[in-house]
Structure 1
């Protein structure tokens, strides 16, 4: 069990002084965790927001802190559970590869896994395993709690602290990303934390904080539209993703089964690999000269279904449509790219296929659960769908030809039906 004494503190620009225990320090000081200093939280966004150079390191520290504060506010949480949730929060993003979510392109394409699979693997099999054991905890349990998949009976709230519509991860990144980008979208996470309770085993928000909850969810929506799905940031991210795939096809530079190899991957080491890859070097040169792809077609649909993400998540479908547009435009297939990010386009709902849009609201006077947030607030009800953003990108010189081709093809059957219904 972790000691109750703090070893020291970190000065965080967002939340101020964050204390940590000797056991948490042992985790932070590992090579596995220190690599997060060299993995940017919003890789690609710096082409739009120069201040967006913060990393997974400070985000992970922030999630540890928020998760711990949220847990301490729940009367049902034991001291040991609070320590476990802090540790899980600290490690929740440990599996990210270089350039954060962009690296999912390689993990998914070549291995059919994602960073959460790597998170569990690094906690259970890497150097962290013994450190967690020495602290008195079970690596297997921490690995499942870190991705919100503990699934302990009658304790849904344990998973929901790190994986739900209103969780510690989102509370940190909405505030932190807004701070570093200067986008200006923030939320009063402390009022949310101090009004949350575990009711009927579910993490629930007090009816007295409805307006705060609405503001939080709206801030998330605006963050997705202005930061995460900004067309220029996405252009840079698409280019990095393509460079990663090209370089890996040319020379596989890591295996997820080799953890020592995996933890050597960060934004700097992989950028060097890409620069020295024959198939990726041109893309990197374009990025270094800010010759970015241009968005020539955009279709934004708010719906109850995962339209764009469902249609274009299949590589063969996306490739087929890209080829069709390229032929119509008379350009190379390599010059047409459909934006279908692996991070689901769901700011109006959840960030995971396993995470339902659910915001239980309880009556502060009676401690009874009311209907779901959507029944209590018209604003929350309106956010129960999916924001699908479909874009087509091409090079600057092909902009007009591809724009016309994309408009012709994607406005005709069957694509119009698939996109707009």
Structure 2
């Protein structure tokens, strides 16, 4: 193959492309692609916030790039760029909260997933055996097939008409660990809560959808030398020596932000929104989404 002819190992290139090379003594190679401050995040946060019109995505990317260095085989940021690094972390949290985890965006994702689940066997959506077969399932092809299938047709038509699932209940909270999100990872627990809400609301269980997106405020692991949710930084002495530090040691903002953002949402169809919201409050506590006021 072409990669081999150029003198490179195709398997190593494949692993490096997703930040999983795990080469002894060269952790920074993976961290360029997959870490707390990697090129992917520096790209998509700026690009996506720009194209969505968000105001918080203005990050001094070049300042960060010029101050990143290798320290004990790990990428580390010079504390001289502390404000740029803090802005980047805050922008990442906001982009997930306001774009990727936005209630309408999640509603569309849920409906599309429901349509694919209903029609996957009929359309063979998961039966591909070669890369070519997988690549044949592009956006247009999958959408057309889902619209033609009797099992998923109604959902796709509702998406086209913007008749989306409605958020009846929402609660956001921050924790230092993943206890809450791990609880909701168990399908039987989600189903139990869903069934209880449906029973109290007097609707069919399938009309209630529990969505629990979770995000570590800092990408979970950056350095092989530090605990999860820490980012290595350094400052230079007058003689050029690099002194390593944890970001939480030099940034009060970062120390406060460390943890997990958990969002619990309950979705349903428009006619059931109010009573499902009230039932969700009884089961989960808080305020129904329809009664919340933004300031």
Indicate whether the TM-score tops 0.5. yes
Q: What is the match of residue 241 of structure 1? A: 113
Within the candidate set 216, 219, 223, 1:350 is matched to 219
1:243-284 per-position Cα deviation (integer Å, ceiling 9, x unaligned) = 111111444323354322111122111111211222211111
Q: What is the match of residue 311 of structure 1? A: 183
Deviation, structure 1 residue 369: 3.3
The 2-side partners of 1:291 and 1:305 are apart by 36
Q: What is the match of residue 275 of structure 2? A: 401
- CA change 1:134–1:383 in 2 (3 A) is farther
Q: How does 1:111-190 map to 2 (within 5 A)?
A: 130-186=1-57, 187-190=59-62
Quick check: 1:336 aligned with 2:204? Answer: no
Q: How does 1:367-382 map to 2 (within 5 A)?
A: 367-382=241-256
Helix, strand or coil at the partner of 1:161: helix
Deviation, structure 1 residue 384: 1.4
Q: What is the match of residue 320 of structure 1? A: 192
Q: What is the match of residue 216 of structure 1? A: 88
The 2-side partners of 1:262 and 1:372 are apart by 43
Helix, strand or coil at the partner of 1:265: coil
1:216-261 per-position Cα deviation (integer Å, ceiling 9, x unaligned) = 1111111111111111111111111111111114443233543221
The 1-side partners of 2:108 and 2:6 are apart by 41
1:91-118 per-position Cα deviation (integer Å, ceiling 9, x unaligned) = xxxxxxxxxxxxxxxxxxxxxxxxxxxx
Q: Is the 8 A contact 1:308 1:389 kept in 2?
A: no
Q: Is the 8 A contact 2:31 2:222 kept in 1?
A: no
Deviation, structure 1 residue 312: 1.9
1:182-206 per-position Cα deviation (integer Å, ceiling 9, x unaligned) = 1122211110000000011110000
Q: Is the 8 A contact 1:336 1:394 kept in 2?
A: yes
Normalised to the residue count of structure 2, the TM-score between the two structures is 0.88
Q: What is the match of residue 138 of structure 2? A: 266
Normalised to the residue count of structure 1, the TM-score between the two structures is 0.63
Q: Is the 8 A contact 2:35 2:222 kept in 1?
A: no
Q: What is the match of residue 285 of structure 2? A: 411
Q: Is the 8 A contact 2:235 2:242 kept in 1?
A: yes
Q: What is the match of residue 264 of structure 2? A: 390
Q: What is the match of residue 201 of structure 1? A: 73
Q: What is the match of residue 289 of structure 1? A: 161
Helix, strand or coil at the partner of 2:264: strand
- CA change 1:168–1:258 in 2 (3 A) is same
- CA change 1:335–1:250 in 2 (3 A) is farther
The 1-side partners of 2:91 and 2:236 are apart by 25
1:365-402 per-position Cα deviation (integer Å, ceiling 9, x unaligned) = 34423321011100111121010111000111000110
Q: Is the 8 A contact 1:360 1:370 kept in 2?
A: yes
Q: What is the match of residue 290 of structure 2? A: none
Higher relative CO (CA 8 A, sep ≥ 6), structure 1 or 2? Answer: 2
The 2-side partners of 1:321 and 1:200 are apart by 48
Q: How does 1:81-96 map to 2 (within 5 A)?
A: none
Could you tell which deviates more after superposition, 389-398 or 234-243? 234-243
- CA change 1:253–1:209 in 2 (3 A) is same
Structure 1 stretches lacking a partner, 5+ long: 1-129, 413-421
Say what the alpha-carbon RMSD is for the aligned residues.
2.1
Larger radius of gyration: 2
The 2-side partners of 1:380 and 1:209 are apart by 14
- CA change 1:151–1:256 in 2 (3 A) is farther
Q: Is the 8 A contact 2:222 2:231 kept in 1?
A: no
**Structure 1 runs (4+) greater than 3 angstroms displaced:** 351-356
